[in-house]
Structure 1
């Protein structure tokens, strides 16, 4: 599964549109950034440190290698942490939360562009079908399913439903210029 995900990442990076420049300059992940810069990015609605929006495909794989190395080091060198039920639960809930939030960047992009151009209807239909199956299992199964799974599943189903609503509202019309949400022209997380 991990190998397939790495192959998909490579294919996606090879076929993505250019990330462009940041403040007129191409950027390298985490280079020259301070914690204050990261906080400013977060408060202005940008990803701190340009996270996961890097220009060089090598940066993505380096990050994943560092993450895997860090987790391996914790597992091997700190067994009192790696065998802790709290640590195991934390990793599980972190992964669950990340998966639940996967549709959010697409929602934001559709909102900013006032278009779903390039986003296929078949993807939304499959996501909604998957959500329906997931929800039926979570709530109709005779087996106990912990509430964090149910809550994250409900959140993701709501996001996917909203993507369907966006597709209905915006269609695949031409993507225009970002439209600010307020008359002041200030940009934030969604504007």
Structure 2
């Protein structure tokens, strides 16, 4: 009888370990999945109107900060890997947008990071300028972290800043949709994927007792996802009414 109970407990532990591993894999790659259909749509249409590159700015800054937060306060390695995957994903989106803009550009005028023109911040013509900016930002974070690593206040502030940027992820897209009065390039399916991903992520943070900054960030993201979903539904209905 005792042997049977032991085997059942061992099976339960094995199942839980498998579920935990599966959840970790979803956490690492799940945040990048919603950008796959958007990447494909931009490739197909050669139009970036439905995607704000400021989303890339927000996510790159947030995840670079999160990596340095991890150096000061080790949390789950899963969340560190998630940041690396998201940085690679955002560079892929920026590279595609730069390629599309380059092929559609009528004027030969180029805007470069070295021009130091704030009017064209994050509107540069070359993908290399985005890489250079992120490298410079990471280098600055590295120096500050090296100097202030022993300060608990600095480490916590770094984490709060990282998740604050991430929590504001959807704001550029929300504002662009309002400005254009359109959600072209977006679909209900895409936004539902975002919402499901953020809900899963928030539940993961709570269950794994991640630093409080993480689940606060997730909760704000879910609210913003709901606002964008409402925009997709309203503007989509308005577009269909015009066609009718």
Displacement after TM superposition at 1:132 (Å): 2.9
Structure having the higher helix fraction is: 2
Please give the secondary structure, in 2, of the residue aligned with 1:11: helix
Q: Name 2:121's counterpart in structure 1.
A: 51
1:28 alignment partner, one of 112, 119, 134: 112
- Deviations along 1:38-74, one digit per CA (max 9) or x if unpaired, are xxxxxxxxxx553322211111111111122222223
Displacement after TM superposition at 1:112 (Å): 1.5
Q: How far, CA to CA, are the matches of 2:216 and 2:85 in structure 1?
A: 28
Contact map agreement 1:29 1:49 (CA 8 A) in 2: no
Q: How far, CA to CA, are the matches of 1:149 and 1:85 in structure 2?
A: 17
2:157 alignment partner, one of 77, 84, 90: 90
The number of equivalent residue pairs is: 153
2:230 alignment partner, one of 154, 159, 165: 165
Bigger relative contact order, structure 1 or 2 (CA pairs below 8 A, ≥6 apart): 2
Unaligned runs of 5+ in 1: 34-47, 175-191
Displacement after TM superposition at 1:3 (Å): 5.4
Q: Name 1:15's counterpart in structure 2.
A: 96
Mapping 1:1-191, distance limit 5 Å: 1=81, 4-16=85-97, 17-18=100-101, 26-29=110-113, 31-33=115-117, 49-76=119-146, 78=147, 81-136=148-203, 141=207, 143=209, 146=212, 148-171=213-236, 173=239
Q: How far, CA to CA, are the matches of 1:32 and 1:145 in structure 2?
A: 37
Unaligned runs of 5+ in 2: 1-80
Displacement after TM superposition at 1:87 (Å): 1.2
Q: TM-score, normalised by structure 2?
A: 0.52
Q: TM-score, normalised by structure 1?
A: 0.64
Task: Report the RMSD for the aligned CA atoms in angstroms.
Answer: 3.2
Q: Name 2:45's counterpart in structure 1.
A: none
- Deviations along 1:130-161, one digit per CA (max 9) or x if unpaired, are 2333454567x595862x44443332111100
Please give the secondary structure, in 1, of the residue aligned with 2:115: coil
